[in-house]
Structure 1
Amino acid sequence: MSSDDQPNGPGEATEPDEATRPKDYRVLDAGALRALAHPLRVQIYDILSQYGPQTASSLAARLGESSGATSYHLRALAAHDLIREVEGRGTGRERWWERPKGGVTFANPEAMRTPSGRAATQLVMAEFFRRRQQQLVDYVNRGIINEPETWQESSLLSTSTARMTVEQTQKLGREIQALVDAATDKYRDQQGEGVRPVTIRADIFPLPNEGEAS
């Protein structure tokens, strides 16, 4: 699983292979995965990805935590270069943090060879998708009713099923990844009236065969 979220241009997509993965993708090593493997740290990391730079205080307000707790977790993430302090912004008492630009992939084959690496990867992915799924549910429950009609018409909630081979599935994943990458690169740093974070989801995975448990 990979994430190419950026402030004002979020999106995640299927795992890009070595030949098609953009040069700025970072494969998280076992140490970075273990550092991220905490529910609150995943939430902090995702907020920085979707909404841009934050302080310990602003994150605490969003998450219902103390600023001391968010400050501690920010430092832990920074120790593995998952986030960094924003240069030239803030003071000694009010530091701003950001997620570096560029996509990351949580699927590290080396890390998956050890029990601790597998556990860290599973925790990170489960919490990441739990948060993103909750955002989708919140939109269905409230956004569809409360969002302006223009944003309602611009949103897309779609699911389909096809019968495909591994090669066909890989090809579709690469094509979707290319579209998502192009949009992210084009609008990553866009600012201005009417601009807001938009999440882009592309989920492609095999279903159980007939007769198997679903």
Structure 2
Amino acid sequence: MENEQGRTLEPGALKALAHPLRVRIYDLLSERGPQTASTLAALIGETSGATSYHLRALAAQDLIREVPGRGTGRERWWERPKGRVNLPGPADAMTPSSRAAAQIVTSDFLRLRHQTLMDYINRPESEQPEGWKDAGLVMTTMLDITAEQMADLQRELSAVVDAAIERYQGQETLPGTRRVTLRAEVFDLPVANSRSTMDQE
């Protein structure tokens, strides 16, 4: 499997990505595949000059790359390299600027993920492709487990996702395929206070 462990974004890449338009461009390249500055401009409502500028900034940190053998000198095609990318959470060991960049990037990515989910949930039935209406899954549950059990569950879910990536990679040109999003989240909730703020004297 290509880049199994993935790339954890270093401070320079985080800072390059810490811009709403760059996060959107990066996300679109993941979602829709290779694009040009012009096609991206049409998708996000910006000028091709602006998208070209942001593409160069992302490419400078190897976050994206030019598609080999495609395009011309005037119309360059860009893609997001395959492989996992890990977004570090704002850590105490980070510099203040890196911590702020991590917060911006993570917040923008999660905002886009939530918007994608809401678009799916609110999509009219008439816009659901044949055969896809009941194929999706949106599920949330609560568990009472230990930290060790949560780590085990995280590894199990990661193995399921990794197996799916390996099983279905290279199918993008097969008839009947569509790009789908697969999410897995496991995290502990804050510990509740024994007394609510309303009860405090």
Same fold (TM over 0.5): yes
Name the amino acid aligned to 1:167: E
Asked if residue 100 in structure 1 is aligned to residue 81 in structure 2, the reply is yes
Structure 2 unmatched runs, 5+: 197-201
Find the counterpart in structure 1 of residue 199 from structure 2. none
Find the counterpart in structure 2 of residue 16 from structure 1. none
Shift of 1:110: 7.7
Name the amino acid aligned to 1:193: P
Instruction: Count the aligned residue pairs.
Output: 193
- Counterpart mapping for 1:17-36 below 5 A: 22-23=4-5, 25-36=6-17
Does 136-145 or 35-44 show the bigger shift? 136-145
Aligned mates of 1:73, 1:54 — CA distance in 2 = 13
State the Cα RMSD in Å.
2.1
Specify which structure has the bigger relative contact order, considering alpha-carbon pairs within 8 angstroms and separated by 6 or more residues: 1
Aligned mates of 1:199, 1:55 — CA distance in 2 = 22
Runs of 4+ in 1 over 6 A off after TM superposition: 108-111
Equivalent position to 1:78, from 45, 48, 59: 59
Shift of 1:139: 0.8
- Counterpart mapping for 1:156-195 below 5 A: 156-190=137-171, 191-195=173-177
Aligned mates of 2:144, 2:95 — CA distance in 1 = 34
- Counterpart mapping for 1:195-214 below 5 A: 195-211=177-193
Q: What are the superposed Cα offsets for residues 90-142 of structure 1, whole Å, 9 maximum, x if unpaired?
A: 00111000011111111178895211111001100100010010010011111
Aligned mates of 1:112, 1:148 — CA distance in 2 = 47
Aligned mates of 2:112, 2:86 — CA distance in 1 = 17
Give the structure with higher Rg (CA). 2
Taking only the aligned residue pairs, the percentage that are identical comes to 56
The 1:192–1:112 alpha-carbon spacing in structure 2 relative to 1, beyond 3 Å, is farther
Q: TM-score, normalised by structure 1?
A: 0.84
Q: What are the superposed Cα offsets for residues 158-211 of structure 1, whole Å, 9 maximum, x if unpaired?
A: 110000111111111111111111111222321211111100011111112233
Q: What are the superposed Cα offsets for residues 71-107 of structure 1, whole Å, 9 maximum, x if unpaired?
A: 0000000000000000000001110000111111111
